[in-house]
Chains A and B, each alone.
Chain A
Amino acid sequence: MAKEVYLWATRQISVQSPLREDWMDDPLYYTEPYVRSIDPDYKQYFPPNTIRRLGKILKRALLTSHRVMEETGVTHPDAIITATGLGCVENTEIFLDALVREGEALLKPTHFMQSTHNTISSLIAIDVHCHGYNTTYAHKGISFECALLDAFLQLKNEQIATALVGAHDEMTPNCFVLLKRTGYLGHSGNGFSGETAVNMLLGGQWRENALCRLREVAFLYRPGKGDLQQSLEHLLQQSHCCLEDIDAVMIGNNGREENDRIYRENCPILFPGKKLLRYKHLFGESYTASGLGVHAAAVCLRQQRIPAHLFINAGNGEQQGVKHILFYNQFENKNHSFILLSACGK
């Protein structure tokens, strides 16, 4: 029988208080359309010489990975799998800007080396001397789901025993302006643009202090009529669950009409009468924001409660005794995904 998969630890650096779960009871709210993450003082965690060359996204990735590895005692994860929509875009901009201004002859090697998408995963591997499986998924709004599915399948099939899965995106002022032009971010009435840095340590064994079980991951590309329903039924069947068991469904509403309309149309059909949760009003929008959504759901399951401010359509107060949260994400109505998380019973 295939193994079960557990989420042992998760840490985030975002627009909420870094490395802490203060957002559960004391969330920060933003009215500006463009918000950058709250960075901790990295010098408290690393010698200055270790991090002096690293851009923001790399410092965040390194610190969150260190924290989950320290908390779980896993010094060498069998796999390091990273999701990123835009990669190390801040360094990419610096590198390209220098290329335009000064030509190819006098480019700084550091910015060149740190301008690729897979720098994040490889930096962590070099730092912890991990020579195992190392992969980066850069698939826009479905990057995190791809990374999670990769780890899930390998753990389920016992090819690996532990996996470090990360979701990382930074948003530069230039990127914000460009994405605003495309309509993806920053328009009146929309939620705000945030940044994502979250690392999770997944393992194939139950642990006392694990946050939750990862029951299933499924995603569909351009589903036809009835495909989503069929996929959801299959996922629930595989997990020996039924819709009645699900306490709440977490979705990716962000205030943008083109995005929210899809949820408005699909949720009543897929999850009739279910309580709906949101997370982007706290963490903002980015290509890998769903990583923070899964992080939030996992923290709720660990603490066995859902704070009132996460509910969209029900409840004036906190919900206690939470056992199952279904995560439903879609990107541009092309990529749809379901992730089922359950409280951690032995």
Chain B
Amino acid sequence: MDELILNLKKEIIEVLNLEDVKPEDIIDDAPLFGEGLGLDSIDALELIVLMEKNYGIKLKDPAQGKEVFRSIRVMADYIQTNRTK
């Protein structure tokens, strides 16, 4: 799980161009949107593409996305349970 969380942080930093952020700066349980990393709706679309591309997970329900992207730990849990690659 720790390895998945670290990889996920690295992928998010790369995909969202978070140039000044290091994996250790992202707190596992901190909110990704609003506070915390301060991501926005375009970032949510980027994360949906990342989930499908890297883990084979298709998120179709926006409400589900809101829950899944609550924090890095929640995202990693969801990936571990639902990944197809």
Which residues of chain A have a CB within 8 Å of any CB of chain B? 48-49, 52-53, 102, 105-110, 113
| 25 CB < 8 A contacts A-B | A48-B19, A48-B20, A52-B16, A52-B17, A52-B18, A52-B19, A53-B16, A53-B17, A53-B42, A102-B53, A105-B52, A106-B49, A106-B52, A106-B53, A107-B49, A108-B15, A108-B46, A108-B49, A109-B42, A109-B45, A109-B46, A109-B49, A110-B42, A110-B46, A113-B42
Interface residues on B, range: 10 to 19
Distance to closest chain B CB from A99 (angstroms): 13
Please give, as numbers and ranges, the residues of chain A lying within 8 Å of B62 by CB-CB distance.
none
- The chain B residues found within 8 Å of chain A, CB to CB, are 15-20, 38, 42, 45-46, 49, 52-53
Contacts A52-B17, A108-B46 given; 20 further ones with Cβ under 8 A? A48-B19, A48-B20, A52-B16, A52-B19, A53-B16, A53-B17, A53-B42, A102-B53, A105-B52, A106-B52, A106-B53, A108-B15, A108-B49, A109-B42, A109-B45, A109-B46, A109-B49, A110-B42, A110-B46, A113-B42
A107 partner residues in chain B, CB cutoff 8 A: 49
Q: Which 6 A-B pairs have the closest CB atoms?
A: A52-B17, A109-B45, A106-B53, A48-B20, A106-B49, A108-B49
Chain A residues whose CB sits within 8 angstroms of the CB of B20 once the complex forms = 48
A286 to chain B, nearest CB (A): 26
In the bound complex, how far is the Cα of B49 from the Cα of A231, in angstroms? Answer: 55
- Closest residue of chain B to A52 (Cβ to Cβ) is B17
Contacts of B46 in A (CB 8 A): 108-110
Bound together, the chains give a CA A55 to CA B49 distance in angstroms of 20
**In the complex, A309 Cα to B18 Cα: how many Å?**
43
Residue of A nearest to B18 (CB): A52
